[in-house]
């Protein structure tokens, strides 16, 4: 018995060792379920090279001024408004991005025009659905701003001075263009056409300064407790000299006189017996606007 007594203990040790070995084998053969690695994040594109259609969909643009075809005062703006940074943005591009002295916007290659528009899209925000509309309006605005800026540079050159901060290469190339005889002839002819196109009434004159007609209308509406104003009131304010109180543009003066005469003729007393002094016609804003529309000569640019 004494010789056999250690055997159960040995068997117990063997049982424990077997259990430990079994547990160890279970741990070694147990693996977590396979989880596929997430797809790699799309490569970030430089805003300066990605298409504008993609650029305007990027996050973090909420702080930019918003463009909308039907702007709400205080919330969004548009190309018809003034003092919204659009003209300043384009003018800054003429100093920072223009490398060749193109005499007009249409001479700039399409790829370069799109580069300017892409820069513009980094300064203003809009709904992606409006991208093509904004592109069209931007190019129209850029064309107008480009023409005005080149003319301003030309006037400085004619005074034997040099515009500040202009690209030297651009300025020298423009000078070559301005010195050509055909350039001077074209400029003189265009000036005469602008004057004669208005029936001898002279060039278009307004008193808005840097304010656009649309922004002036917003100001009048705000001053009128938010109520719309008619077109006659708008053009009178826009074209009346604040010092003299007179409308300087002879063509506009004719339009105003004609419309006011027509309004007076449709606002006669109800009868001639003296019993009524009220006006027979209370003309609406839309009716007055129609009168102005008919009185304005149908020419390119309206007035």
Residue 212 and residue 82 in contact, taking contact as beta carbons nearer than 8 Å: yes
Whether 254 is in a domain gets the answer yes
In-domain check, residue 81: yes
Of 245, 240, 241, 242, residue with least CA distance to 255: 240
Structural domain that includes position 81: 52-179
Q: Are residues 90 and 143 in the same domain?
A: yes
Last residue of a domain, one of 155, 179, 203: 179
pLDDT digits (tens), the chain, 303 positions: 444 445 554 444 444 444 444 444 444 555 455 555 555 554 455 555 789 999 999 999 999 999 999 999 889 999 999 999 999 999 999 999 999 999 999 999 999 999 999 999 999 999 999 999 999 999 999 999 999 999 999 999 999 999 999 999 999 999 999 999 998 888 877 777 666 666 667 778 888 888 888 999 988 998 998 899 999 999 999 999 888 989 988 889 999 999 999 898 887 655 555 544 444 457 889 999 999 999 987 765 455
Do residue 170 and residue 59 come from a single domain?
yes
Q: Please tell me whether residues 250 and 169 are part of one structural domain.
A: no
Statement to judge: residues 158 and 261 lie in one domain = no
Q: Which two tokens stand for residue 213?
A: 């007609």
Whether residue 123 contacts residue 64, with contact meaning beta carbons closer than 8 Å, is answered with yes
- Same-domain status, 242 and 142: no
Give the distance between the most distant pair of CA atoms in the chain: 151
Residue 32 covered by a domain? no
Residue 44, Ramachandran bin (φ over 0: left; ψ between -120 and 50: alpha; else beta): beta
Separation of alpha carbons 151 and 153, rounded Å: 5
Number of domains composing the chain: 2
CA distance 298 to 303: 8
Whether residue 60 lies inside any domain: the answer is yes
Which one of 129, 164, 179 terminates a domain? 179
Does 278 map to a domain? yes
Q: Do the domain assignments include residue 63?
A: yes
Angle, helices 181-196 vs 168-178, to 10°: value is 80
Do both 103 and 172 map to the same domain? Answer: yes
Task: Give pTM, 2 decimals.
Answer: 0.67
């Amino acid at each position: 018995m004494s010789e056999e007594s250690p055997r159960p203990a040995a068997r117990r040790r063997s049982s424990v060792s077997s259990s430990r070995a079994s547990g160890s084998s279970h741990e070694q053969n147990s693996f977590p379920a396979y989880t596929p690695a997430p797809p790699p994040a799309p490569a970030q594109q430089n805003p300066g090279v990605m298409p504008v259609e993609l650029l305007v969909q990027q996050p973090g643009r909420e702080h930019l001024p918003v463009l909308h075809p039907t702007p709400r005062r205080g919330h969004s703006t548009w190309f018809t408004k003034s003092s919204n940074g659009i003209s300043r943005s384009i003018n800054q591009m003429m100093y920072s991005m223009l490398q060749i002295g193109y005499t007009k916007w249409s001479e700039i290659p399409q790829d370069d025009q799109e580069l300017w528009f892409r820069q513009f899209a980094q300064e203003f925000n809009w709904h992606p659905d409006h991208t093509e509309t904004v592109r069209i309006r931007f190019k129209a605005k850029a064309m107008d701003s480009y023409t005005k800026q080149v003319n301003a540079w030309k006037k400085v050159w004619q005074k034997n001075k040099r515009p500040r901060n202009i690209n030297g290469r651009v300025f020298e190339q423009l000078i070559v263009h301005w010195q050509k005889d055909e350039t001077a002839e074209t400029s003189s002819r265009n000036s005469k056409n602008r004057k004669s196109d208005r029936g001898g009434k002279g060039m278009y004159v307004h008193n808005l300064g840097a304010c656009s007609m649309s922004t002036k209308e917003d100001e009048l509406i705000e001053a009128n407790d938010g109520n719309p104003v008619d077109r006659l009131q708008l053009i009178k304010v826009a074209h009346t000299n604040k010092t003299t109180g007179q409308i300087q543009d002879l063509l506009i003066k004719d339009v105003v006189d004609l419309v006011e005469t027509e309004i007076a003729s449709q606002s006669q007393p109800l009868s001639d017996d003296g019993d009524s002094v009220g006006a027979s016609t209370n003309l609406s804003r839309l009716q007055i606007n129609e009168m102005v529309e008919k009185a304005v000569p149908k020419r390119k640019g309206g007035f």
